[in-house]
């Protein structure tokens, strides 16, 4: 069904594997188009509570946008190229369920930017991160300048994007680019366990949490606190809130119906 993506569903979690191993999973236009279709579909699928994205093979998460395509761009086509990638990454960022990047090797250029658009990131010990666009005479166009500076800090973002240097998993952990580093053969199992933990929660609470935390990049604290009040009060109107609080008082495990 997809030429460049593999999909596996396990325990209410969806695993997406970018699958162009001969090109180190570089994101060509077709892959970006397929991601748009798949993420929109998974967003509407009530059986899926969490999504994991990784790369096929043992060497690469995603080695960037496809440089063969970039080589053919001019000023006009580069604008739509950049806008198209940014749109898909914004779909990911705004999804109603979390998307976790399981970075299993090179996450360069568009691959690092995709990881940045995910809600959080884990890495294998062999993972490598970088924004090497400067070496091609260009700059990141899928959100790298914006999200890297917001996630870590402007000093590290300036250094990574201006030098094009590649950092290893431990350095990525140290600067806050990833949450944890796992041995390569454990990465997917460990991320799967975290995804299934999240998928067992109330989907409406999960979705409200994502909206509230995302708003911190967009609105001032006072407005954010008001937004939290409205989301919190709406959450108390759900069956899941009654179930979660009753289950605590009755000393049993809650069974959420996502209502």
**Site residues, ligand COA (CB under 6 A):** 23-24, 26, 63-68, 106, 108-110, 132-133, 136
Here the tokens at position 229 are 């009040």
Considering the complex, what minimum distance in angstroms separates the CB of residue 174 from ligand COA? 22
Q: Residue 49 or residue 110: which is nearer to ligand COA going by CB?
A: 110
Considering the complex, what minimum distance in angstroms separates the CB of residue 234 from ligand COA? 41
Q: Residue 89 or residue 106: which is nearer to ligand COA going by CB?
A: 106
The active-site residue out of 34, 93, 133, 192 is 133
Q: Residue 49 or residue 109: which is nearer to ligand COA going by CB?
A: 109
Considering the complex, what minimum distance in angstroms separates the CB of residue 6 from ligand COA? 18
Q: How far is CA 145 from the centre of its chain?
A: 16
How far, in Å, are 33, 35, 113, 239 from residue 205 at the CA level?
30, 25, 27, 11
SS (H, E, C) 92-128: HHCCCCCEEEEECCEEECHHHHHHHHCCEEEEECCCE
Q: Residue 63 or residue 187: which is nearer to ligand COA going by CB?
A: 63
69 given a catalytic annotation:
no
The active-site residue out of 8, 30, 69, 113 is 113
133 given a catalytic annotation:
yes
C-beta separation of 117 from 143 below 8 A: yes
Q: How far is CA 204 from the centre of its chain?
A: 19
Considering the complex, what minimum distance in angstroms separates the CB of residue 202 from ligand COA? 39
Work out the angle at residue 144's Cα, subtended by the Cα atoms of residues 7 and 216, and round it to the nearest 5 degrees. Answer: 90
Considering the complex, what minimum distance in angstroms separates the CB of residue 54 from ligand COA? 16
167-184 burial: b if 16+ Cβ within 10 Å, else e: bebebbbebebbeebbeb
Can you tell me the distance from the alpha carbon of 121 to that of 159, in angstroms, rounded to the nearest whole number?
Answer: 20
Q: Residue 49 or residue 132: which is nearer to ligand COA going by CB?
A: 132
C-beta separation of 169 from 128 below 8 A: yes
**Of 76, 95, 78, the residue nearest 29 (C-alpha):** 78
What residues are annotated to the active site?
113, 133
């Amino acid at each position: 069904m997809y030429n460049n993506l593999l999909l596996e569903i396990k325990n209410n979690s969806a695993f997406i594997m970018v699958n162009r191993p001969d090109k180190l999973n570089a994101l060509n236009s077709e892959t970006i188009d397929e991601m748009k279709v798949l993420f929109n579909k998974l967003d509407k699928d009530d059986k899926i509570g969490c999504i994991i994205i990784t790369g096929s093979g043992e060497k690469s998460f995603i080695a960037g946008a496809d440089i063969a395509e970039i080589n053919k761009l001019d000023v006009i086509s580069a604008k739509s190229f950049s806008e198209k990638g940014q749109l898909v990454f914004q779909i990911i960022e705004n999804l109603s369920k979390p998307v976790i990047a399981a970075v299993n090797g090179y996450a360069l250029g568009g691959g690092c930017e995709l990881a940045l658009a995910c809600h959080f990131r884990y890495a294998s010990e062999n993972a490598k991160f970088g924004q090497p666009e400067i070496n091609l005479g260009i700059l990141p166009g899928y959100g790298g300048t914006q999200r890297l500076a917001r996630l870590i800090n402007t000093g590290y973002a300036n250094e990574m994007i201006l030098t094009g240097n590649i950092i290893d998993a431990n350095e990525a952990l140290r600067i806050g680019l990833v949450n944890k580093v796992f041995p390569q053969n454990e990465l997917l199992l460990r991320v799967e366990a975290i995804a299934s933990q999240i998928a067992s929660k109330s989907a409406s609470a999960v979705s409200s949490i994502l909206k509230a935390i995302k708003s911190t990049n967009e609105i001032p604290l006072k407005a954010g606190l008001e937004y939290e009040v409205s989301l919190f009060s709406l959450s108390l109107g759900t069956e899941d809130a009654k179930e979660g609080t009753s289950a605590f008082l009755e000393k049993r495990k809650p069974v959420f119906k996502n209502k």
